[in-house]
């Protein structure tokens, strides 16, 4: 009895230490900049980052309407100071001193729009923003949300290379929404609590390039091949499912903001030295023959500390991996070509 009380009190003491170590008093000052903060993803993402106790300064940038978003979010009684910046003239101020830059800028996908249509608009926006990042906060971690991520991350890499400021450990394509969807859909079919579920998702961040590894899901459930095929397809088509459900009135802005905030939080924890922070992300990689690939990544003080290997794949997943490579290769080449035009 006495021993169990001791164990309990020492456990609660440990938790108190953990809580104290992450109270705002001892957490490092961290500036987070959101580029595209007045948009459909940007606004809910700004709200979620304002709620994050690891953020001390929140810099919101867009071409219009940012002061209003900053005023609104700034009234929330949490740690971070919020400033809104608007227009090209203020981009430098928005970026200076940033530890983490999140880029949801650009247009969302509308019904009937192909990823080529998206590319034609968003590629130029990403190119301009990354040129400014290379100049004003070259050592920040970059979280790329602007679609098509399969191409915008290679564009960013090329722009940073041209500026002599490329660090492959600091550039991330945010694929967390694929993981979030895979967990949700799997939990529904496996009839397990979603909070306990983990599913790695590899490949890229569009259609067939998204490959959830349900064979590695935890907790393991005995689901049939047909169910796993359907779950894979639903994860790949999750964005289209939302676009169609919103009937032309928007895309997956809220779930993307949630996923973006989750990944940003992981990056901040890594920067702050929290051990064993592992998330899936689309990064420069040598685990396949492709130069960029999404897989599990260990995050740390330098960004990517380690790209983890893929682990054992089922036959279905091996086929999926080979099937996605040509599509992903083509998207990467398209981004590189655009950046060097």
41 is in an annotated binding site: yes
User: Positive or negative CA dihedral for 277, 280, 284, 285?
Assistant: positive
Burial class (CB in 10 A: 0-12, 13-18, 19+), 11: exposed
Q: How far is CA 154 from the centre of its chain?
A: 15
40 is in an annotated binding site: yes
5 is in an annotated binding site: no
CA-wise closest residue to 62 among 34, 40, 41, 83: 34
Q: Alpha-carbon distance 263 to 131, whole Å?
A: 23
CA-wise closest residue to 184 among 199, 174, 169, 173: 199
- Alpha-carbon Rg for the chain in angstroms: 20
181 is in an annotated binding site: yes
Q: Catalytic: which of 183, 205, 329, 334?
A: 205
CA distances from 217 to 178, 186, 201, 213 (A): 14, 8, 10, 7
CA distances from 66 to 43, 74, 128, 227, 297 (A): 9, 12, 18, 44, 33
DSSP string, 226-253: HHHHHHHHHHHTHHHHHHHHTTTS--SH
145 is in an annotated binding site: yes
37 is in an annotated binding site: yes
DSSP string, 208-229: GGEEE-GGG-BS-----HHHHH
In a 3-state reduction of DSSP, which class is residue 323? helix
Verify whether residue 205 is a known catalytic residue.
yes
256 is in an annotated binding site: yes
86 is in an annotated binding site: no
225 is in an annotated binding site: no
Q: Alpha-carbon distance 37 to 58, whole Å?
A: 11
Find out whether 210 and 237 touch, Cβ atoms under 8 Å.
Answer: no
115 is in an annotated binding site: yes
Q: Would you list which residues are annotated within the binding site for substrate?
A: 109, 115, 147, 181
Q: Would you list which residues are annotated within the binding site for NAD(+)?
A: 36-42, 62, 122, 145-147, 256
Active site residues: 205
């Amino acid at each position: 009895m006495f021993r169990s009380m001791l164990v309990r009190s020492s456990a609660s003491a440990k938790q108190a230490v953990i809580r104290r170590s992450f109270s705002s008093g001892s957490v490092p000052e961290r500036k987070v900049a959101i580029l595209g903060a007045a948009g459909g993803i940007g606004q809910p993402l700004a709200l979620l980052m304002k709620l994050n106790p690891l953020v001390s300064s929140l810099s919101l940038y867009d071409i219009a309407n940012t002061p209003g978003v900053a005023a609104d979010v700034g009234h929330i009684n949490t740690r971070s100071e919020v400033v809104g910046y608007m227009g090209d003239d203020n981009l430098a101020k928005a970026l200076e001193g940033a530890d983490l830059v999140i880029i949801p800028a650009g247009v969302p996908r509308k019904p009937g729009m192909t990823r080529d249509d998206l590319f034609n608009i968003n590629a130029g926006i990403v190119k301009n923003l990354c040129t400014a990042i290379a100049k004003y906060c070259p050592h920040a971690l970059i979280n790329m949300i602007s679609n098509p991520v399969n191409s915008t991350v290679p564009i960013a890499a090329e722009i940073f290379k041209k500026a002599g400021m490329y660090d492959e450990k600091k550039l991330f394509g945010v694929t967390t929404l694929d993981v979030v969807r895979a967990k949700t859909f799997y939990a529904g079919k496996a009839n397990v609590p979603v909070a306990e579920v983990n599913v790695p998702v590899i490949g890229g961040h569009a259609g067939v390039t998204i490959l959830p590894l349900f064979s590695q899901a935890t907790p393991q459930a005995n689901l049939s091949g047909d169910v796993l095929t359907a779950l894979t397809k639903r994860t790949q088509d999750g964005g289209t499912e939302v676009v169609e459900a919103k009937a032309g009135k928007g895309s997956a802005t809220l779930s993307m903001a949630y996923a973006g905030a989750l990944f940003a939080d992981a990056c901040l924890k890594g920067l702050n030295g929290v051990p064993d922070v592992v998330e899936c992300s689309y990064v420069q990689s040598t685990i396949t023959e492709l130069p960029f690939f999404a897989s599990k990544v260990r995050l740390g003080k330098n960004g990517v500390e380690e790209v983890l290997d893929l682990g054992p794949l089922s036959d279905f997943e091996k086929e999926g991996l080979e099937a996605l490579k040509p599509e992903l290769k083509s998207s990467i080449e398209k981004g590189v070509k655009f950046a060097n035009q």
